[in-house]
Structure 1
Amino acid sequence: MHSILVKDYMQHNAHAIPIDTNIKDAVESLLNDGVIGAPVIDGNDHLVGYVSEQDCIKEMLNDAFFCEEPASVRTVMKTEVVSVTPDTSIVEIAQSMLDRRPKNYPVVDSGKLVGIINRSHILRALLENEQDCYIRH
């Protein structure tokens, strides 16, 4: 089961937000895509952070209260992002999730964002491989 890899279950076209996007546009993008957060990338598709709806709420409240122009995503994003590679084991990520780690993991290859894997992808991988166990026994 340790041979089940991220690259076989990840979403290849991950929703990503460019680092210079303003918060209002980032929130609209998150809402339109139906995601609660997204990796933040630089101009070369390198992963530089992660922004969630929660990260944006305080800033948007502040902007609305003071009638200020929205700040850049870079001001609210998390810069310490737990990411994985395409060759990371699904079992390793599943175990990490048990310790209340992130629920979405950007997938990077040589520093560049190549996809994302989340709880649904992990569950699908575990379910499909559990079924394979029943077939073999």
Structure 2
Amino acid sequence: MVKSFQGVRVVEPKKTASPVLVKDHMSTNLIVFRPEDSIDHVLDMLTQRKISGAPVVNGDGQLVGIISEVDCLKEIIKGKYSNTPKFPGKVAEHMTEDVITLSPEMSIFDAAQKFLELKIRRFPVLKDGRLIGQISLSDIIRAFPKLKSTTW
């Protein structure tokens, strides 16, 4: 007769994967613009920082809009017709005011779905009504290769 000396087996509790959230992958060091900034300034900053858009905040730091390269094209076209090489138009005239925002607690899978549905390149991230970051389509794409099979 053979006896086993393995003893009682302890079953490890299954680890539940913590959700992968927007706040883990968003940018927090943001370039922001003010409604009174000129489109010339915006174009300079977008080009210099190699970004395609940024949030617009008022004097109190509250999100009031978002400005993108596409929005700036409106001023560029206007300059072409008036033969003006400078673009003095203001951000307030061209920014998108009806901004869709995301919560920092949203999963990046849900955020990815929002990007697909709305065909938007960036979302400001608000917490308690305050701008705390921005997540872009590129941020989402960069997050997925880092995921382990347990978090997928």
The TM-score range, normalised by the shorter chain, is: 0.7 to 0.9
Q: Contact 2:21 / 2:106 at 8 angstroms: preserved in 1?
A: yes
Larger Rg: 2
Alpha-carbon distance in 1 for matches of 2:87, 2:104: 38
Counterpart of 2:90 (choices 52, 72, 77) is 72
Identity %: 32
Q: Write the deviation string for residues 63-106 of structure 1: whole angstroms up to 9, x where unpaired.
A: 35434871210000011111112111111111122224312111
Q: Contact 2:76 / 2:87 at 8 angstroms: preserved in 1?
A: no
- Mind listing any 5+ residue stretches in structure 2 that lack a counterpart? 1-16
TM-score by length of 1: 0.85
Counterpart of 1:30 (choices 31, 34, 46) is 46
- Mind listing any 5+ residue stretches in structure 1 that lack a counterpart? none
Q: Cα RMSD (Å) of the superposition?
A: 2.2
User: How many residues of Structure 1 are paired with residues of Structure 2 in the alignment?
Assistant: 133
Counterpart of 1:4 (choices 17, 20, 27) is 20
Q: Contact 1:82 / 1:102 at 8 angstroms: preserved in 2?
A: no
Structure 1 stretches of 4+ moved >6 Å: none
| 1:94 counterpart = 2:112 | yes
The DSSP-based 3-state class of the residue aligned with 2:149 is helix
Q: Give the number of the structure with larger relative contact order, counting CA–CA contacts within 8 Å between residues 6 or more apart.
A: 1
TM-score by length of 2: 0.77
